[in-house]
Amino acid sequence: MRRWIPLFCLALIAMSCEVTVVEPAPYDEVSEYLGTWNMDEYSDTFRSEHYYQIYIIRSRANYVYLKNFYDEGLVVRAEVRSGRLIIPAQIVNGYEIEGSGNRYDNRIDFNYSVFHRSYHPRITDFCQSVAYW
C-alpha cells in the first residue's frame, strides 16, 4: 500500500497542471496603413503638384477612412485588400472619386480620378500621388 502513495501523489500533481497554448496574434494588414501621411500629389489633368497631409483611420473590418483626401477636407472610404488600398467609386461633397493605392515599405502609391461635379466645364482630374511618413 505504501508503494502506491508516491504514485498517487504524482498523479494528483499531474492532474492539477494546466497547459496554456499561446497562439500568435493574427496579421492585421489594415494597421500598416493607419496614421498621418504626407501626400505628394501630381495632377495629370492640370499638370500641377500639390503637397498636403492625409489621415488614415480604421473604420470596420478591412475598411479605412482617408481624411483630408484631395486636400479638400474630404473623408473617403477605402478597403484594404491583399496589400492594396481600393477606393471604390463614391460621391463625397460633390466630388466623384475612385482609385487605388499600393503599399511599398513606408509609402503608398496612389492612382485615382476626381470628377468635379459642380465645376464648369466639368473636368475629371487624374492624379498620381505618393503618401509617405
In a domain, 12, yes or no: no
Region 10-28: what's the mean pLDDT? Answer: 76
Residues with Cβ within 8 Å of 21's Cβ and at least 6 positions away in sequence, in order, are none
Specify the pLDDT at position 1. 60
As for how many domains the chain has, the answer is: 1
Examine residue 2 and state whether it is found in any structural domain, yes or no. Answer: no
Pairing outcome for strands 124-132 and 35-43: antiparallel
Query: Which CATH number characterizes residue 112's domain?
Result: 2.40.128.420
Residue 47 belongs to a domain: yes
Would you say residue 16 has pLDDT above 80? no
| Residue 11 within any structural domain of the chain | no
39 belongs to a structural domain: yes
Q: Kindly report the average pLDDT of the chain as a whole number.
A: 91
| 26 pLDDT more than 80 | yes
Q: Give the separation between CA 112 and CA 17, rounded to whole angstroms.
A: 58
Quick one: pLDDT band at residue 75, thresholds 50, 70, 90?
very high
Tell me the per-residue pLDDT of 101-132, one tens digit each, with 9 for 90 and over.
999 989 999 999 999 888 778 899 999 999 99
- pLDDT above 70 as % of the chain: 90
pLDDT reported for residue 14? 65
Range of the domain at 81: 24-132
